Chains A and B, each alone.
Chain A
Amino acid sequence: GQNIDQPTEMTATEGAIVQINCTYQTSGFNGLFWYQQHAGEAPTFLSYNVLDGLEEKGRFSSFLSRSKGYSYLLLKELQMKDSASYLCAVRDGTGTALIFGKGTTLSVSS
């Protein structure tokens, strides 16, 4: 079967660092995506990993270990506007569909 697991909710304070974990079991792998989604809006692309290691992009970094079926999204210098749902998604073996987790709702407080 196909399964993407991530925590349901996380809380953090402004200026802090937070790590959102994602584990996956899928039939095939063609890359892992992280998206940010504010309530009622479309998912917006944050990062993409296809090889093992760390990808850094400003305040956001994403890590992938294919052998462990594991990824994390690291958010630094948190801001109130980072309060959103963060979706982990794996592109399946056909290279077309994205299989999404249920999302992690992050609440940033002052």
Chain B
Amino acid sequence: DTGVSQDPRHKITKRGQNVTFRCDPISEHNRLYWYRQTLGQGPEFLTYFQNEAQLEKSRLLSDRFSAERPKGSFSTLEIQRTEQGDSAMYLCASSPDRGPGYTFGSGTRLTVV
């Protein structure tokens, strides 16, 4: 297993455009998470999936953000009508149901111009 994979690594988009990111978790992990990290800050939790069910969403996840995990494997995070404040690193992580194996992907760096 190659760990958690994210695509693309970098995305530059114009304000108002929609963007979609993909995350492939570690195959045996049931849980998948999305975080956002801005410069000088730690990652902030956005949302969590247990298999295909989205069980938790942060207040940070505005209506312009939507995440899916249709078959309980890969996940997508879509941002509609992007704003400059959306510029950040978007990190995906996966974990087993218990224990320390909380593993992050390399992230997608989004720049909104």
Report A's interface with B, CB cutoff 8 A: 4, 31, 33, 35, 40-45, 48, 50, 87, 89, 91, 94, 96-103
> Which positions 11-56 of chain B face chain A at CB distance < 8 Å?
31, 33, 35, 40-45, 48, 55-56
Encoded as 1 (CB less than 8 Å from any A CB) or 0, chain B from 69 to 100 comes to: 00000000000000000000001010000011
Instruction: Verify if B111 is at the interface (C-beta below 8 Å from A).
Output: no
Report B's interface with A, CB cutoff 8 A: 31, 33, 35, 40-45, 48, 55-56, 58, 91, 93, 99-100, 102-107, 109
A-B contact list, 29 entries, CB within 8 Å: A4-B42, A33-B100, A35-B104, A40-B109, A41-B107, A42-B104, A42-B106, A42-B107, A43-B43, A43-B91, A43-B104, A45-B102, A48-B99, A50-B100, A87-B42, A96-B31, A96-B48, A96-B56, A97-B45, A97-B56, A98-B33, A98-B93, A98-B102, A100-B42, A100-B43, A101-B42, A102-B42, A103-B40, A103-B42
State which of B33, B40, B91, B107 has its C-beta within 8 Å of the C-beta of A97: B33
Q: Which residues of B contact A102 (CB under 8 A)?
A: 40-42
Specify the chain A residue showing the minimal Cβ separation from B48.
A96
Shortest distance between the CB of A89 and any CB in chain B (Å):
7
